[in-house]
Amino acid sequence: MNLVTKRKFSLRLIAAASVLALVAAACGDDKDQEDSASSTPGSTETTVAPDNGGFPALVEPVKGGRLQMAMNDNIDCYNGLSYYGVSWSLFYFMARGLYGYPNTIQSPETDTIQADLAADMPTVSDDGLTYSVTLREGLTFPDGSAVDSEDVKATFDYILDPNIQCATGGPPASGYYGVIEGASEHIDALTADPTAASSISGISVVDPLTVEFKLNKVDGSFTRALAMGWSFIRPSDTAHEITETAPAFVGPYHISNYETDTSLTIDREPSWAANVAAGVPELANENNIDGIDLAIGVTDETQLQQLKDNEIDITFDGSAPSGSDVPLILTDPAYEGRAFSTADAAVDYGVFRTDKAPFNNVALRQAVNWALDRNNIAKIIGGEFSRSPWSEILSSNLLVGSDDPEGTVYSYDPAMAQELVDGSGEAGPIKIKLIHFQDAPAPEVAASIKENLDAVGFDVELEGVSADAFYGVLADPTSDYDIGMAAWGQDYSDAITFYGPLLTCPDGTPTGSNYGQFCDADFDAAVNEINAMPAGAERTEAFADLSVSTMRDKAPWWPITNRRKVSFVSERVGNYVWGPGKQFYFATYFIKG
């Protein structure tokens, strides 16, 4: 997913500034929750639980109160189709699809799919090409109308309509749904004629509660595509049009007001209780807050001061703290129990426009990778609390046990970079344009990169782009740039969530988030072969090996850093946790009395 930097939100994408995602539902059984909870509701106990990801031990929550959040730059949309991770966080909290994930950061539960609106896990045919899903009985939308299989089919027709997407590209850009028979044809038809009466042929209504998905090839992770943050079910009569907020959906909360680029308000959904009665998972210690108030356009400096003064509870885009403020906050005893540095599953990386000179030359792509002083960049962003130098495609959690678990396929070697530039056949200095987010620390990072590249034979022009437009510019093949700073976090814990959206080129057409237009038939064949494997150690190892060999031999990216999440919250927030699955686990939070 895309991330906004500064740890910027995850488009489950991310750029020099960055963004990621979140989910809801049941997290283990009630006993697990009781064992980790204080006996006093709303207790302010801050003992760090070794099994709680470095966050304070969970306590019994109290109900009520509103979460106050702020962000600087806005994301592209709040209609549920954004690829920014923070959008997924909100919609995992508010809305429900066929499948989802528990509200826990504990492994393996955090990455275990559960049935939400579906009555059970899908029935899969022996050949792995047909998935049959049955809905729970008695589900209703907010207006009281029943949820049926027609709504499920229509939802996927809707989310794969290319004409209603936000700047980050949404579901069509992800590439996850091309495995459904007729999905690519549906996208192509609507691209050619937005008014076409198109529907995905591989999704069929069997009966009012049963829908069938037919695949064109075996995909060991297809159920994950049905559990993504934008795959919540909409009514079948939802108009295919661009909207600022989402159409009706099943869930515990809804957006009650949105003032463009100013504020967003989330409140409880009155119809939710009926759906819980129909069996949709909800634990007693979830969905504690009455709503969320998000202020948009608040500067980084103001957010940091507001957090220190407990005037806001959370910085939604990760704006505060950033840069040199990170170690100051994390080492200040006054903020013990409020400031955290925890594991992420995301990377900051750079895009090469591989479809044109000069970076259709692999030697020059390798030269950039050798030229970068990634240690210095990591220090600029916040040091060891938030980043570590990294030169692999996959994040560190997906490279455990590989030949390069530390992400060091490239190191800082200006002499090697200069040698590759000199031998490239390109007359120097080689003029290139680097685009980056406008917000700190991206400009400072970009300046450091320019210094590194100018020193080995490039002549780098810098251009800042606002966060709401950045990924649209990055994705447009007519845009005038050669390299761009981005960021990406896993959509779920599997390497296909990096390779599929970002680097594949099915039928010679780059997937929507393959910003650099990287097309390599051998690479695609390797990805498809591994993706047909079932989940397990063999699949994980094969994908990890592919990261090492691809970066070494093809260098489709210039990876920069492996990310950690820096959190700073107010004294009011109870049961705060953050994890790469849903990012913000809003369903577990509560406001202390």
DSSP 427-487: PSSEEEEEEEESSTTHHHHHHHHHHHHHTTTEEEEEEEE-HHHHHHHHH-TTSS-SEEEEE
**429 to 282, 365, 422, 426, 449: CA distances (angstroms):** 60, 15, 10, 8, 16
The pLDDT of residue 100 is: 97
CA 111, CA 334: separation in Å to the nearest integer? 34
How much is the pTM? 0.84
| Rounded Cα–Cα distance for residues 404 and 50 (Å) | 27
Instruction: Quote the CA–CA distance of 353 and 365 in Å, as a whole number.
Output: 10
pLDDT for the residue numbered 47 = 39
Q: Output the furthest CA–CA distance in the chain (Å, rounded).
A: 71
Distance CA 345, CA 22 (A): 13
CA–CA dist 160, 189 (Å, integer) = 11
pLDDT of residue 29: 30
| CATH 3.10.105.10 for the 343-565 domain, yes or no | yes
- Looking at residue 2, its pLDDT comes to 59
- Which are the contacts of 122, defined by CB distance < 8 A and separation ≥ 6? 131, 132, 133, 213, 223, 226
* Residue-level pLDDT at 50: 40
With beta carbons less than 8 A apart as the criterion, state whether 234 and 249 touch.
yes
With a CB cutoff of 8 Å and minimum separation 6, the contacts of 583 are 9, 10, 12, 20, 21, 22, 85, 86, 88, 89, 489, 565
Helix (H) or strand (E) holding 422: helix 414-422
pLDDT in single tens digits along all 593 residues of the chain: 655 433 333 333 333 333 322 222 222 233 232 233 333 344 434 333 445 778 999 999 999 999 999 999 899 999 999 999 999 999 999 999 999 999 999 989 999 999 999 999 999 999 999 999 999 999 999 999 999 999 999 999 999 999 999 988 899 988 899 999 999 999 999 999 999 999 999 999 999 999 999 999 999 899 999 999 999 999 999 999 999 999 999 999 999 999 999 999 999 999 999 999 999 999 999 999 999 999 999 999 999 999 999 999 999 998 899 888 999 999 999 999 999 999 899 999 999 999 999 999 999 999 999 999 999 999 999 899 999 999 999 999 999 888 999 999 999 999 999 999 999 999 989 999 999 999 888 999 999 999 999 999 999 999 999 988 898 899 999 999 999 999 999 999 899 999 999 999 998 999 888 999 999 999 999 999 999 998 889 999 999 999 999 999 999 999 999 999 999 999 999 999 999 999 999 999 999 98
535's CB contacts (< 8 A; 6+ apart) are 220, 221, 494
Looking at residue 7, its amino acid is R
Axis crossing angle, helix 442-454 with helix 362-371, rounded to the nearest 10? 110
268 half-sphere exposure, CB direction, 13 A CA radius: 13
pLDDT of the residue at 448: 98
